[in-house]
A and B are shown apart, each in its own frame.
Chain A
């Protein structure tokens, strides 16, 4: 994929309880051509706290609105579908693209995710190289081609 130049580093919210997977995502994005910052939370409640700027995330400087959310499904405290549902119902959050990134290939999970308006559904590759390739393409697509509704460049 080719790069589209952005004027600022982009923010990614990674909601992932598996530390190994989180590390792969972080490493893949640290080398990415599109400048970015990964904000990582490890459970569903923390994801909502981050997005709604509650508790420890009250300071907007600590919790910039993400340009894309990578969301695992099996999470502690509040599961991924619950988080997705809340995001897509919230007036101030529903426009943020949510990419489900999960080990599950279950038809029911796919169907439920789209029913709750997930933007995309990706299955984590088992192979490390493939996982990295996926992160690379994901970055180029969501941070490069897809239009961010909050971008200054978009006239309102």
Chain B
């Protein structure tokens, strides 16, 4: 499955619809702030039960998020060996040099800018899905909840 960390509901909708359109078999779990993302991955609070919070095969991470911001979430995830094998693709509206630099410093697997145009956004999600879920091998690949 895919963990989508995105506070903009319109963008989240585009992402989810694009994945569905690819007839992708992957479930998407959507959270709207950084703290929930960490709760999910660290299995805290409501995500305590591992059955309810299977490890994702891919994390799509926005940067400007409520509660805990995206760069902080990224930094925390990549410090944990158990989670380091999950590709994190930063998916953001920001093209600011500093954001790209920090994301790289914190070892984001990839950094992609959300296209403004709907069709291009869908194209991006299509290519992103084929690459990260089709070709790329993650450490979570044998997880049947994929």
Chain A residues in the interface with B (C-beta under 8 A):
1-2, 88, 94-95, 97, 105, 107, 110-111, 114-115, 117, 119-123, 134, 137-138, 140-141, 144-147, 149, 153-156
Cα distance A141–B85 in the bound complex, in angstroms: 19
What per-residue 1/0 map shows which CB atoms of B103-114 lie under 8 Å from chain A? 011010111110
Q: Can you list 14 A-B pairs, Cβ within 8 angstroms, ordered by A?
A: A2-B123, A88-B107, A95-B105, A117-B78, A120-B109, A121-B136, A121-B138, A122-B135, A137-B127, A141-B128, A154-B100, A155-B96, A156-B97, A156-B98
Known: A2-B123, A137-B130. A110 touches B139 (CB 8 A): yes
- Interface of A, secondary structure class, is mixed
Residues of B within 8 A of A140 (CB): 127
Q: Does B87 contact A (CB under 8 A)?
A: yes
Q: Which of A105, A110, A119, A145 contacts B128 (CB 8 A)?
A: A145
Whether A149 contacts B127 in the complex (CB less than 8 A), given A110-B137, A111-B85, A119-B110, comes out as no
Interface residue? B131 (CB, 8 A): yes
Kindly identify which residue among B98, B104, B124, B135 contacts A95, using a CB–CB cutoff of 8 Å.
B104
Of A97, A138, A154, most buried by chain B (CB within 10 Å of CB) is: A154
What total count of A-B pairs have CB within 8 Å? 86
| Cβ–Cβ < 8 Å partners of A1 in chain B | 127, 130
Q: Is the CB of B84 within 8 A of A114?
A: yes
In the complex the two chains form, is A117's CB within 8 Å of B104's CB? no
B104-A94 in contact (CB<8A)? yes
* B48 CB–A CB distance under 8 Å: no
Chain A: which residue is nearest B107 at the CB level? Answer: A117
Cα–Cα distance between A119 and B110 once the two chains are bound (Å) = 7
Query: Cα distance A88–B84 when bound, in Å?
Result: 14
Query: B101 in the interface, Cβ–Cβ < 8 Å?
Result: yes
* B10 in contact (CB, < 8 A): no
Report A-chain residues with C-beta under 8 Å of the C-beta of B105. 94-95
Set of chain A residues within 8 Å of B87, measured between Cβ atoms = 120
Cβ-closest chain A residue relative to B104: A95
Q: Which residues of A contact B127 (CB under 8 A)?
A: 1-2, 137, 140-141, 144-145
Residue of A nearest to B119 (CB): A2
Question: Do A110 and B97 have beta carbons less than 8 Å apart?
Answer: no
Minimum CB–CB distance from A36 to chain B (whole Å) comes to: 17
Write the B133-146 contact mask toward A (1 if CB under 8 angstroms, else 0): 01111110100000
